[in-house]
Amino acid sequence: MQYTERMKLALTYAEESSKRARWIVFILQLAVIVVLASLWQQADSNWLQQRLYAAQDLVRVLSCQPDKVYGEAVVDEAKKSVNRGSSPTLTADAEYLDSKYSCAVVMKDDARVKRAYKYQKDWGFSLTEAKKNVSDLQQLMVNRVLGVSFPVLGVVFDVNDLSLLAGVTFVILLSWFHFALRRQNKNIIHVFDIARKADLAGNEPDNCLSTTYYLLAMTQVLTIPPTEEKDTQKPTFLTKMGRLSSLIMWTAVVAQALVLIDDGLTMARGNTLSPMVNYIESGLAALLWFYLIFRTKECYKIMAITQTVWNEAFKDARISPSDRREAYEKA
């Protein structure tokens, strides 16, 4: 069928509004991934942290009792080949006391000694190499864990600011998404109204609403246009929450909640640096989380309204234009 220029423009604008919503969702999910990855990297159970712990224990074991790693025979042979001469008297300075304390703590823990032994077996580090490995891992922790960078923008911020900056980012993106959904809803309503009027005028030989419906349905991702009569029925709560659009919209709220939980668990660490900044940022992040819940609900309402528009268009598209004209004239 041949569309008028007005109908072509309406379809183009409706498709563009759907694209805008999808792009915002993509950026929102990218932000969620960055936040969750940053949250995981600072956890004690992540691989980088565990590797650092193992490297530190290896340095202590090699410094305190190298025979635990190399074996007594190797250590004895090394001692015999060393020119002993006159050994200087050890003084109880801070470094000496620190080394003795570290030896006492590590060597009493069989699990840490065993982990250090396995780590040395995997990498074959000597004491000098193990110390260099610890230094490299600590530098990596400072650059990649304590300093969080956002892709494309190149912005680097401290991991302690994660809750506040994540909340601000999510609020901006969800507000933008809310606006895009409103425009999408209005454009879709406008397209279907034009198609209905074309069928009522009787100027088109085909079912204009039906053709428009299926052409526009091809461009939808967040909304699920119905294809059968059962799809227009009111969904259950589990069905609503199981939809991709519902899961996507709540990811920001869930991510912010996890960051706030981590803030609560690590509050003592933040207080070590600055209690005032710590409490202020955590309090603002909590307020932003409540706003995220509100904004997400508003987005969900608009998507529910848009779904209703699709359901009504689907029902009307299944009726022939002549029957719709007759029903309109009787009304």
Select the highest-mean-pLDDT range: 2-6, 227-231, 287-291, 309-313: 287-291
Domain count along the chain: 2
- The mean pLDDT of the chain is 80
Statement to judge: residues 69 and 115 lie in one domain = yes
- Matching residue, tokens 């004895």: 76
Q: Which domain, by its residues, includes 77?
A: 47-154
Compute, in degrees rounded to 10, the torsion defined by CA atoms 8, 10, 13, 18: -110
The pLDDT of residue 90: 43
Together in a domain, 12 and 63: no
Q: What is the pLDDT of residue 32?
A: 92
* 308 and 178 share one domain: yes
Q: From 100, 130, 154, give the residue that closes a domain.
A: 154
Shared domain check, 278 and 149: no
Give 324's strand partners.
none
Q: Which of 154, 183, 205 is the last residue of a domain?
A: 154
Q: What pLDDT, in 10s, does the model give residues 112-143?
A: 888 888 888 888 888 888 889 999 988 888 87
Same domain for 218 and 175: yes
What is this structure's pTM?
0.76
What is the distance between the alpha carbons of residues 18 and 174, in angstroms, rounded to a whole number?
Answer: 15
pLDDT at 91: 46
Q: Which helix (H) or strand (E) holds 162?
A: helix 162-201
Is the backbone of residue 154 left (phi > 0), alpha (psi -120 to 50) or beta?
A: left
Contact predicate 1/199, CB 8 Å:
no
Residues 97 and 181 grouped into a single domain: no
CB 184 within 8 A of CB 22: no
Residue 79 in this model has a pLDDT that exceeds 60: no
Q: What is the pLDDT of residue 318?
A: 83
Domain boundary pick from 119, 154, 189: 154
